[in-house]
Amino acid sequence: MTQSQIGLIGLGTMGAMLALNIAEKGFPIAVWNRTVAVTHGFKAEAGALAEKITPCETLADLVAAIKPPRAIILMVPAGQAVDDMIAALRPLMAADDLIIDAGNALFHDTDRRSAEAAVQGPHFMGIGVSGGEEGARHGPAIMGGGLRSDWDLVAPVLNAIAAKYKGAPCADYMGPAGAGHFVKAVHNGIEYADMQMIAEGYGVMRDGLGMAAAEIAETFNVWNQGPLQSYLIEISGEVAAAIDTHSGKPMLDMILDRAGQKGTGRWTVIEAQHLAATIPAIEAAVMARNLSSRLEERLAGEAVFGAAPQVGANVTLTQLEQAMIAGKILCYAQGFALISAASKAFDWPMPLPEIARVWREGCIIRSSMLNDMATALTDDPARNLMLAPFFADHLKATHGGLRQVIAAGALSGLPLPALASGLAWFDMMRTGRSTANMIQAQRDFFGAHGFERIDGLADKHGPWSGHGI
């Protein structure tokens, strides 16, 4: 029997789709699932691709079926399941074999597993995979972290299965240890913010302008032909146009407004706080998801304070499109700034332009803007993206619309947390003389923390009596 070139563990939806993608690209693959019937059923349903698939009933069979040096992809739930699988594989694999965690792992876990692998073997990599079920099957975006030599070993397979942008694979090496999973977490944080801003725009149209779902769908479709062209805007148009087969009403009107999450956005926010990186649009998006789950409290709040006016927001669709353009630029700028902060803090030489290029196809946040972002980051990777001439010009042209939308939302009682947070960040970023001098004076007054003077004098304390506690 011809030995497989790679192995895969975990034939859930994502694992099964990824395995079919690998087989379709011509790579023989050995697969294992803890339920043996699932393993054999997967091959039986693979059609013409079945000849490339070797189902294995035990982990020992799986390891034996792969040509050395072996590489095995884990598609199992993040956390303890990954550690358990590594422990089960370790005695079966050679020191120069490779285990690849392709799930949504916390990057700190990937750092720890990489350090353990350096001592105990086999080699270990963490790769971020974005694109959902469709991407896994037909081409995801892939962000690799670990040893460069390990990436090079499996790059032929990963480049082949990745999405393509004008023929270039949307897969690349991000840096050591947990770098790939960190970039994937930031990707997901941007995804949270982008989705929240789109939801806020939908809310302005539905509740502030009284537009029907079909009109909203058409607006999204028009926006998708301009600067906002992206996967999320595209599917938002399709979602708004869909009709519920049971009630005959717009599908959106039948969906409970309680959004789920798997935690990656929360990880991004927590890590940003550790790194002192400012990502308020992403923080607001995570907050909004958390608050959406508190349906009973929201209904109680509406009963006490009354519902916001349903129609009457003083805003145009042109201004709303401008607000969405500005908000999108700002949330991406925050995300790339967070990656830059991590690169410095963890000594990861992460290639910001290549990250933008990897995200151009296959992933959930793919957008026409990413090509221009890649260019801007190539020109000056240390510069905040909002200051790059291309995006600065866009912001100059659109932040007025963003202000109008947020003002109309505030006056109408329409919640716009991500858009408003993005604008507040923008205004702080463009303010040369902020109000932090007041904070420093307060800190010195109650705690004698001192301050810097604008005239350079050495006196670091104010002339107050010192009523600190």
Tokens read off for 18 = 């990824």
- Give the residue ranges of DSSP H helices in 347-388: 352-358, 369-379
Q: Output the CA torsion 39→44→46→48 (10° steps).
A: 140
Closest by CA position to 178, among listed 281, 101, 72? 101
pLDDT of residue 466: 57
For the chain, which residues score pLDDT lower than 70? 1-2, 466-469
The stretches of 224-279 forming alpha helices (DSSP H) are 231-241, 264-274
249 part of the active site: no
The neighbouring-strand residues paired with 54 are 30
Q: What is the pLDDT of residue 2?
A: 66
The residue annotated as part of the active site, out of 45, 57, 133, 191, is: 191
For 318, the token pair is 């042109």
Instruction: Name residues whose C-beta falls within 8 Å of residue 13's C-beta, 6 or more positions apart in sequence.
Output: 133, 136
Known catalytic residue at 184: yes
66: its two tokens: 């792969």
> Using one digit for the tens of pLDDT, what is the confidence trace for 145-161?
999 999 999 999 999 99
CA–chain centroid gap for 342, Å, is 15
Structure tokens at 90: 């370790």
For the stretch 264-294, what's the b/e string if a residue is b when 16 or more beta carbons lie within 10 angstroms of its beta carbon? bbbbbbebbeebebbbbbbbbbbbbbeebee
What pLDDT is recorded for position 260? 74
Residues in the chain: 469
CA R_g for the chain: 25
CA pair distance 195, 419, nearest whole angstrom:
11
Tokens of 96: 């120069």
Is the Cβ–Cβ distance between 289 and 265 less than 8 Å? yes
CA 349 to chain centre: 20
pLDDT one-digit tens code per residue, 65-92: 999 999 999 999 989 999 999 999 999 9
The confidence score (pLDDT) of residue 312 equals 77
CA 236, distance to chain mean position in Å, is 18
